[in-house]
Amino acid sequence: MKIRTWGFFSGQAFSSMRRNSWMTIASIGTVAVTMIVLGVFLLLAANLTHWAGSIESQVEISIYLQDEITREQVDELAQKFTQLEQVAVVKYVSKEEALLKMRDWYGENADFLAGLELDNPLRNGFKLTTHRPDQVLDLAPTLRTYDGVAEVQYGQGMVEQLFAVTGVLRVVALALMIGLAAAATFIIANTIRITVFARRREINIMKYVGATDWFIRWPFVIEGMTLGLIGSLVAAGLIAWSYQASFAKLVISVPVIPLVNPWPFLLGIVGWLVLIGTTLGVVGSTVSLRRFLRV
């Protein structure tokens, strides 16, 4: 297509939007509302996943060493653990440190721990964190076989259940998103179909004059793209603004729930909403046109 033809296409698209201004507003509104719903779900899903992730990442392996092993054996074990490819962080915790931590934990009620410094019943050990939390399940049992290791703990039983729950959460979030995107496509395609239907006579005339399918299609595609873009920009703006506002409030009032930081997270959300909204506009108009191009 030549440049002047593109000018004609966009002129057609915009004059059609101006002429059917009510339909244009309705379509933009539909896209905006659908994208807001989708956006809210994206935010929920992202925060849910983030929450699940932050719980999972607290999963670590505690290794307790036999009392009688030497300094060299400890160093050797540290080196072996560090070389394991699943392991991200290896931290040595001496029994003195463990006691201090315990005392912190009990705070004012730590009196009963008094005197233990002299005959510390705790054991030296390591804390391991893996690159991915689920690697804990496979890794932990093998660690027991190392020389000098007395005991391995990773919250056996609890961790398996936790992973099962977070797994379900992820699947539910994904399913909701796919369902919503499908519903959004349907609603938007239907809205555009109304405008296309109103112009089926014009499309028919164009075919008789010898216009190619793409010549007829492009103004509709540009129109759908513009409607989708404007609608999703409105939605993305509202979503970003309200998330940022509620983040500031929630972080203070409910600090227990780990929320995803607004930036750069919102950039991604805005990007996705605009991309999806625009694509839906284009797909909606192309799909709706197909039937009327068969002349």
**Contacting residue, 210, 252, 253, 255, with another protein by CB under 8 A:** 210
**DSSP per residue over 59-91, as a string?**
--EEEEE-TT--HHHHHHHHHHHHH-TTEEEEE
Least Cβ distance, residue 206 to another protein (angstroms): 7
Least Cβ distance, residue 27 to another protein (angstroms): 19
207 near another protein (CB under 8 A):
yes
- Rounded distance between C-alpha atoms, residue 182 and residue 124, angstroms: 56
14 near another protein (CB under 8 A):
no
Rank residues 174 and 295 by Cβ distance to another protein and give the closer one: 295
Q: Which of residues 242-281 bind another protein (CB under 8 A)?
A: none
- Rounded distance between C-alpha atoms, residue 266 and residue 243, angstroms: 8
Least Cβ distance, residue 165 to another protein (angstroms): 54
19 near another protein (CB under 8 A):
yes
198 near another protein (CB under 8 A):
no
**Choices 27-35, 202-210, 234-242, 271-279; region in contact with another protein by CB under 8 A:** 202-210
CB of 129 closer than 8 Å to CB of 87: yes
- Rounded distance between C-alpha atoms, residue 44 and residue 4, angstroms: 46
**Contacting residue, 82, 153, 212, 244, with another protein by CB under 8 A:** 212
- Provide the CB-side half-sphere exposure for 209 (13 A, CA): 9
208 near another protein (CB under 8 A):
yes
Rank residues 154 and 218 by Cβ distance to another protein and give the closer one: 218
Terminal Cα-to-Cα distance of the chain (whole angstroms): 22
CB of 96 closer than 8 Å to CB of 158: no
Burial-class residue 115 by CB neighbours within 10 Å (0-12, 13-18, 19+): exposed
Least Cβ distance, residue 223 to another protein (angstroms): 15
- Which residues would be at the binding site for another protein (CB under 8 A)? 1-2, 4-5, 8, 19, 201-202, 204-213, 215, 295
